[in-house]
């Protein structure tokens, strides 16, 4: 049962995470076929992130209320069907709509896969299992552009989506027959809180996405950001008054839980915001084709799959907090290496060491980032805690891309190779600063839950490794 659950959850998480960035290398082909604008092309990527980030917490709450297995299987069905719809899309509008439903399906798969695995594993194996699952998610995100480039270059853009369909068709009956339902939360559903939360997140994430194209001071950026922030303030007020809140305020009274999510947000933002620019550097400045550029990032993208399981083992001995600090330090050092090394004619051999260090740091991060917040919550709140952490990581990606792209545009731009390198170098140093702050925040995470948690939380955290 434990192995079957891990394999089903791991494969499903990898498949869903893969589609976060798999379409990026198909954008030029899509633009030519549909004669679409650049902004329309960007929305094939952004709509996935938008729906994923906004629906994560709602999916986790629905799983806790109606059954994690049920919502997980529904997510698999939705993701598989929308992948087929994307492959059959005859217009850019239909493709964007299909990608939106892919994002919704992914929001139902990834956090609930984690809680299903945690629910079946004994405490002594839980750390390794979470690390392995985190490694699968990280590997899927990292390999997305490379797999997309390979599929598009050797086949067609439709194949990027068709590859999900047979996998999903196998996973749905396996999950239905093999997975245990697990414990449900015995409380009502805070519908008003869910609607307020989704509306607020929609405004904030939409504004962040639009800032990449329009800049921070455009009305289409400021209006949704301000409106979203105001709605989230109302949401916070409502949650304090609600009899059965969707996001219990007590979660954030835990310094460990709050700081764990801050670290996840900063690391995802600093690192993947830099990846967004570095992948363009390989193609636009060093003139590698999509597949060739993907091959050259393999030291970076494959190492997490090797490091994450090892980190799960050593996390029990060294402590999750130390590994998270090491992750932020390694990734910050890699970005500093890139910032010093990049030039219009830099040889690939000079970039390779930074990719290895970045891959090792990313492997540590994906091994412990999903687990650490669970050390500070009760078992009945695992699904919600996983949803919060995943949502914060997605918002971190959007915010990191927006901030670093803004720095890149202000300090350089796409005009010439020299301008691109100038903007990239400035953005990388900002990424280094973000990861330095993340390292400090990671060190401040308590090794043992404080008295603010309930006795149930403390007992769970101790069993899960929170006392290391």
Cα dihedral sign, 252-208-58-229: positive
Model pLDDT, residue 13: 87
Helix/strand/coil for 231: helix
13-22, 70-79, 322-331, 456-465 — which is least confidently predicted?
Answer: 456-465
Q: How far apart are CA 207 and CA 228, in angstroms?
A: 9
Both tokens of residue 468?
Answer: 């290391």
Cβ neighbors of 271 (< 8 A, separation 6 or more) are 331, 335, 358, 361, 362, 365, 400, 431, 435
Domains of the chain by residue range: 1-185, 190-245, 250-468
CB atoms within 10 A of CB 240: 9
For range 343-367, the mean pLDDT: 90
DSSP code of residue 447 = S
Say yes or no: do domains 1-185 and 250-468 share a fold: yes
Helical (H) or strand (E) element with 428: helix 417-444
Residue 115 belongs to what H/E stretch? helix 92-120
Superfamily name and number for 250-468: MFS general substrate transporter like domains (1.20.1250.20)
Contact between 85 and 101 under an 8 Å Cβ cutoff? The reply is: yes
pLDDT at 148: 75
- 268-282, 312-326, 354-368: least confident range: 312-326
State how far the Cα of 49 lies from the Cα of 66, in Å rounded to an integer: 25
User: Could you tell me if 414 and 284 are in contact, meaning their C-beta atoms sit under 8 angstroms apart?
Assistant: yes
Q: Which residue has the tokens 């500093």?
A: 336
Within 8 A by CB and 6+ apart from 21, the residues are: 45, 141, 144, 145, 148
- pLDDT tens per residue across span 195-230: 998 899 889 888 887 887 787 889 998 999 999 999
Report which of residues 214 and 82 the model is more confident about: 82
H runs (alpha helix) in 281-372:
290-296, 298-318, 320-341, 348-368
CB 320 within 8 Å of CB 442:
no
pLDDT band, residue 454 (cuts 50/70/90): very low
Q: Residue written as tokens 């390979």? A: 150
Give the closest residue to 118 by CA, choosing from 100, 134, 99, 140.
Answer: 134
Give the DSSP letter of residue 23: T
By the 8 A CB rule, do 449 and 256 touch?
Answer: yes
**Cα gap 44→47, rounded to integer Å:** 6
Read off the pLDDT of residues 112-133 as tens digits, 9 standing for 90 and up. 887 788 777 776 676 667 667 7
DSSP 65: H
Query: Distance from CA of residue 370 to its chain's centroid?
Result: 10
**For the whole prediction, is pTM greater than 0.85?**
no
Position 33 scores a pLDDT of: 79
What's the mean pLDDT in 273-298?
A: 80
Longest Cα separation, the chain: 62
* DSSP symbol at 124: H
Q: Would you call 415 exposed, middle or buried from its count of C-beta atoms within 10 A (0-12, 13-18, 19+)?
A: exposed
Per DSSP, the chain holds a count of helices (H) and strands (E) of: 18, 0
User: CATH assignment of 1-185, given 3.40.630.10, 3.90.230.10, 3.30.750.24, 1.20.1250.20?
Assistant: 1.20.1250.20
């Amino acid at each position: 049962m434990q192995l079957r659950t891990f394999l089903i959850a791991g494969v499903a998480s990898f498949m869903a995470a893969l589609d976060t960035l798999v379409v990026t290398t198909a954008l030029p082909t899509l633009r030519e076929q549909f004669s679409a604008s650049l902004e329309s092309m960007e929305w094939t990527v952004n709509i996935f992130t938008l729906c994923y980030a906004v629906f994560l917490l709602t999916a986790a709450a629905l799983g806790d209320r109606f059954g994690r297995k049920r919502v997980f299987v529904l997510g698999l069905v939705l993701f598989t069907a929308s992948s087929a719809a994307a492959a059959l899309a005859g217009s850019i509008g239909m493709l964007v709509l299909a990608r939106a439903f892919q994002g919704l399906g992914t929001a139902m798969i990834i956090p609930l896969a984690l809680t299903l695995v945690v629910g079946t594993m004994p405490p002594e194996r839980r750390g390794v299992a979470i690390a392995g699952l985190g490694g699968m998610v990280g590997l899927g995100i990292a390999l997305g552009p490379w797999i997309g480039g390979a599929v598009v270059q050797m086949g067609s853009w439709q194949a990027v989506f068709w590859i999900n369909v047979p996998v999903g068709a196998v996973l749905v009956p396996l999950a239905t027959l093999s997975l245990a339902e697990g414990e449900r939360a015995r409380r009502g559903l805070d519908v008003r809180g869910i609607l307020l939360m989704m509306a607020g997140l929609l405004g904030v994430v939409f504004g962040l996405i639009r800032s990449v194209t329009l800049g921070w001071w455009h009305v289409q950026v400021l209006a949704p950001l301000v409106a979203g922030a105001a709605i989230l303030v109302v949401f916070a007020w409502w949650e304090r008054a609600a009899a059965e809140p969707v996001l219990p305020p007590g979660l954030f009274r835990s310094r460990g839980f709050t700081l764990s999510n801050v670290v996840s947000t900063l690391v995802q933002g600093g690192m993947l915001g830099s990846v967004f620019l570095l992948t363009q550097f390989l193609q636009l400045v060093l003139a590698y084709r999509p597949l060739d550029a993907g091959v050259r990032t393999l030291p970076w993208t494959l190492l997490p799959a090797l490091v994450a399981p090892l980190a799960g083992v050593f996390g029990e001995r060294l402590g999750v907090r130390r590994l998270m600090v090491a992750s932020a330090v390694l990734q910050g050092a890699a970005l500093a290496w890139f910032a010093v090394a990049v030039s219009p004619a830099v040889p690939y051999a000079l970039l390779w060491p930074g990719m290895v260090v970045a891959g090792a740091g990313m492997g540590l991060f994906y091994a412990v980032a999903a687990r650490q917040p669970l050390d500070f919550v009760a078992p009945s709140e695992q699904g919600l805690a996983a949803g919060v952490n995943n949502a914060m990581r997605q918002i971190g990606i959007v915010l990191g891309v927006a901030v670093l792209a803004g720095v890149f545009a202000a300090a350089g731009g796409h005009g010439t190779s020299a301008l691109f390198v100038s903007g990239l170098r400035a953005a990388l140093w900002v990424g280094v600063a973000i990861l330095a702050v993340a390292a400090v925040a990671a060190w401040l995470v308590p090794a043992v839950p404080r008295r603010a948690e309930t006795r149930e939380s403390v007992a769970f955290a101790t069993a899960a490794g929170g006392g290391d």
